[in-house]
Amino acid sequence: MAHHQSSPIDHPEIQSASTLQYVSAFVLGLALMIVSCIITLGGGLSQSSTLTWIGILALIAVVGQLYLLFKLDLSKTMIWHTVSAVLTIPLVFISIVVTMWMFQYLEMRVMVGGS
Amino acid sequence: MSTDLSRVADPGSIKLYTTEPDHHDPITLRSIGFWLYMMSDIMIFAGLFAAHGVYGDAYGTSKITAAQVIDPISALFPTLFLFSSVLFFGLAGVALKNNDRKEVLRWMTAAFVVGLVFVLQEIWEFVKLAQEGAVPQASAFLSDFWTIVWAHGLHVIVGLIWMAVVLIQVLRDGFTEAVVGRFLNLRIFWFFQAVVWVFVYTFVYLMGVS
């Protein structure tokens, strides 16, 4: 990677733009959301398996978008974007899952809230 | 090959690290800096989704349930608008790669218009909800629903203002280093709105009616 670009447009992050990948991200995202919608409204599955399946589809959509839109990979240009994104995942997971677990347990122990 | 061997033969010439600071170009530095901001921005949504996990069915004394305020089929339209806007902005990025100012302006305008449609559609939807009494103060679920959707909506509004500014700068200054750097950061910001929407649509809209 040259450190002194002759033109800002030669920057590798500008040069990585790709019509095929952006169109793929669009099609993938939209198709998966429509499939999730059909699974949810179809009503053929139990609530827990519906949630599992739409969760899996959302995960595929997001991983697909992260790769196709942001080009997160191990190249010299993108390695630190990728590393910081990977390190953010456990923080997001801990925030959501532990908070939900804590409140559910709290509700169970103090017997308030009803539902 | 022979030069490599001679270097290895002389341990004094091996350099393990540089003593001078590395001079990265400003665009790379701004991109990684803004990316790190985006990672902390994601934590705002993590907090909101955690709250949603807790208050998702906390209706209290309100008679309004999630299934009454959420219609996943009509919510496919904002999904289509936002994903299209992201695609158009991506195509503006492809035009920038090809150094085609006219195409950049055309696709950015398209991305802006479709993004605006997304926001207006969302405003219209929530005005209807408010008229039906589904206001944020009615229940914990509704507070949570309004907050998540509008935390995302506010991001999109900020993105649109930013897009209008960069559009004017591309028109006025062309592809200078400063403008290209801003374009790249806006692209990161705008693409992220589609990623966050996948979670909003799945865990707020679809989960609400499952």
Q: For the purposes of burial, counting CB atoms within 10 Å of the CB of B22, is it exposed (0-12), middle (13-18) or buried (19 or more)?
A: exposed
B123 with B178: CB under 8 angstroms? no
What mean pLDDT is reported for chain B?
Answer: 92
Reported as a single tens digit per residue, the pLDDT across A28-80 is 999 999 999 999 998 788 889 999 999 999 999 999 999 999 999 999 889 99
Q: Provide, rounded to the nearest whole percent, the portion of chain A with pLDDT above 90.
A: 72
Q: Do B42 and A33 touch (CB under 8 A)?
A: no
Q: Do B198 and A40 touch (CB under 8 A)?
A: no
**Minimum-distance CB partner of A40 among B31, B195, B209:** B209
**Minimum-distance CB partner of A41 among B72, B93, B179:** B72
At A72, give phi and psi (nearest 5°).
-70, 115
Per-residue pLDDT, B5: 57
Per-residue pLDDT, A2: 43
Q: Looking at beta carbons, which residues of chain B come within 8 Å of A99?
A: 50-51, 53-54
Please name the residues in contact with B8: beta carbons below 8 A apart, sequence gap of 6 or more.
Answer: B14
Residues in chain B: 210
Closest to B166 in 3D by CA, of B98, B109, B99, B208: B109
ipTM attached to this prediction: 0.89
A49 in contact with chain B, both atoms CB, cutoff 8 A: no
Question: A76 to chain B, minimum CA–CA distance in Å?
Answer: 11
Please, where are the H alpha helices in chain A? 12-15, 19-42, 47-70, 79-93, 99-110
Closest to B42 in 3D by CA, of B143, B155, B145, B187: B155
Mutation choice for B interface testing from A66, A69, A78, A101 by most B CBs within 10 A: A69
B206 with A36: CB under 8 angstroms? yes
Domain residue limits, chain B: 25-209
Q: Measured between alpha carbons, how far is residue B147 from residues A72, B32, B45, B96, B141 in Å?
A: 30, 29, 10, 36, 10
Q: Measured between alpha carbons, how far is residue A73 from residues A9, A100, B181 in Å?
A: 21, 32, 21
Q: Do A3 and B23 touch (CB under 8 A)?
A: yes
Largest CA distance in chain B: 82
Q: Do B96 and A14 touch (CB under 8 A)?
A: yes
Provide the sign of the torsion angle of the four alpha carbons B151, B180, B118, A82, taken in this order: negative
B210 with A46: CB under 8 angstroms? no
**Minimum-distance CB partner of A14 among B73, B184, B203:** B184
A27 in contact with chain B, both atoms CB, cutoff 8 A: no
A52 in contact with chain B, both atoms CB, cutoff 8 A: no
Provide the sign of the torsion angle of the four alpha carbons A43, A48, A53, A55, taken in this order: positive
Per-residue pLDDT, B156: 98
Closest to A61 in 3D by CA, of A26, A16, A21, A98: A26
Please give the class, per CATH, of domain B25-209: mainly alpha
Query: Which segment of A40-44, B13-17, B115-119 scores lowest on mean pLDDT?
Result: B13-17
At A78, give phi and psi (nearest 5°).
-105, -5
Average pLDDT score over residue span B14-21: 74
Q: For the purposes of burial, counting CB atoms within 10 Å of the CB of B154, is it exposed (0-12), middle (13-18) or buried (19 or more)?
A: exposed
Average pLDDT score over residue span B131-139: 93
Per-residue pLDDT, B9: 64
- How far the first Cα of chain A sits from its last, in Å, is 59
Question: A110 to chain B, minimum CA–CA distance in Å?
Answer: 15
Per-residue pLDDT, B25: 84
- How far the first Cα of chain B sits from its last, in Å, is 65
